[in-house]
Structure 1
Amino acid sequence: MSNNQPMFLRFNFAFVLSFVCLATPAWPDYEAGEGAYQRGDYATALRELRPLAEQGNHSAQFFLGVCYANGYGIPKNLELALQWYRLSSDQGNWLAQNDLGVMYQNGDGVVQDYEEAARLYRLGAEKGYMVAQSNLAAMYYKGRGVRQDIREAFRLETLAAEQNFALAQRMLGIMYMVGTGIPQDYVQAHKWLNLSTARGDTDAGTLRDELAKKMTLDQIAEAQKLAREWTPKGK
């Protein structure tokens, strides 16, 4: 995939935990299952989380969906992943809504349906979930499941980037760099690519360095100053 193409992402466990903790009651079995999942002890995680999922705990249902979707501790089974994601999504779990959207967008275990993918991404995006915002931005960028709207793609990507989501920061930097839906602005492009690089996105670093060759020293200094002064906005 080239650096300037939108990507569609499932959840990233490292930054999802804060969302899950906010949305899940303090149940000892859930906390034990979540801890086991973090350690990669999927057998224990499944033993603790499955009963909770069957009792209707939407976060446990989500993690069960993740395990089936990826084959963590159990044979990979997209049909069961869809089942658990749907149960969690129907209760408003935005992580499940996003991952279910990815399955519809990619046609994983289900007939490919861009409109349904966009609908599910929107549910998560409206709750402020940065991955869903970035995924929906990509749908608007390409006109998949929605009418193409570059300005809306830019708006959504900005919301995700402001939450310090590296991929969204890179995509926003690209939009500024090429002038997609907005006036071309190398200073803003460099700033966002620099921020993404700081989050570990090596592709963003490559783009930033190439962009710098087209900029004056004053422009680079201004962009670096903006990046240093920038602070993320919470969900």
Structure 2
Amino acid sequence: MMLWLCWVGAAWAGYEEGEEAYLQEDFATALTEWRPLAEEGNAEAQNMLGYMYRYGQGVSQDFEQARLWYRRAADLGNARAQNNLGAMYRQGLGVPQDYQEAFRWFLRAAEQGNGGAQNHVGLMYYKGEGVQPDLMQAYMWAYLAAQQGLDPSIQALDLLSQEMTAAQINEATDLARKWKPKGEEFAL
């Protein structure tokens, strides 16, 4: 047990050093810190490598590498990676555009409470992208994201309110208030 705790502590120390370097835009150091952690299965480091490849930060922009790293982290239950992977499928970055696959990844992240993913799920329910259009579900997910302060979701609630009855809004709000995040297995 003690050996495991030492390993976890060392792994997070490396992650934090990478994060500090990343925030200072020292992408080479961030990459040096995060790559070994990502290869060992640290989902946060995997997500950040995906992000760096997606935007060409310290590496050549490579959507395929971004998708691979996001997918590894997403499979470990990392909500941010699931949201990022959903965005790649929705936009067709390095993969054929696939709204159903995008919705699937956004929903997994949204169900864990990721505000960005909740915003995407609401938008996709509104537009009927990858899912049947459903104003009630759109409102519920936008409401949840708005509770986290996401401006696009706050604006979406105003738009949706113009298309829904008061009874529908009340019902969707009740659904949102009763909603609880689902946990996923999460591994470092």
Task: Name the residue aligned to 1:11.
Answer: none
Given residue 76 of structure 2, which amino acid in structure 1 is its aligned partner?
Answer: Q
- 1:30 corresponds, among 1, 15, 18, to 15
1:44-95: per-residue Cα shift (whole Å, max 9, x none)? 1001000100111000000000000000011000010000000000000000
For 1:49 and 1:143, the matched residues in 2 are separated by 38
Deviation at 1:175, TM superposition (A): 2.3
Task: Name the residue aligned to 1:180.
Answer: 163
Task: Name the residue aligned to 1:169.
Answer: 154
1:175-228: per-residue Cα shift (whole Å, max 9, x none)? 23xx12344xxxxxxxxxxxxxxxxxxxxxxxxxxxxxxxxxxxxxxxxxxxxx
SS of alignment partner, residue 140 of structure 1: helix
Structure 1 gap segments, 5+ residues each: 1-24, 184-234
Deviation at 1:173, TM superposition (A): 2.4
TM-score (norm 1): 0.65
SS of alignment partner, residue 163 of structure 1: coil
Q: Kindly, what percent of the aligned residue pairs are identical?
A: 44
- 1:107 corresponds, among 89, 92, 108, to 92
User: Of the two structures, which has the highest relative contact order with CA contacts closer than 8 Å and spacing of 6 or more?
Assistant: 2
Given residue 30 of structure 1, which amino acid in structure 2 is its aligned partner?
Answer: Y
Q: Tell me if the contact between 1:151 and 1:182 (Cα under 8 Å) persists in the aligned partners.
A: no
Deviation at 1:107, TM superposition (A): 0.8
Q: How many residues align?
A: 160
Task: Name the residue aligned to 1:118.
Answer: 103
Deviation at 1:169, TM superposition (A): 1.1
Structure 2 gap segments, 5+ residues each: 1-7, 167-180, 182-188
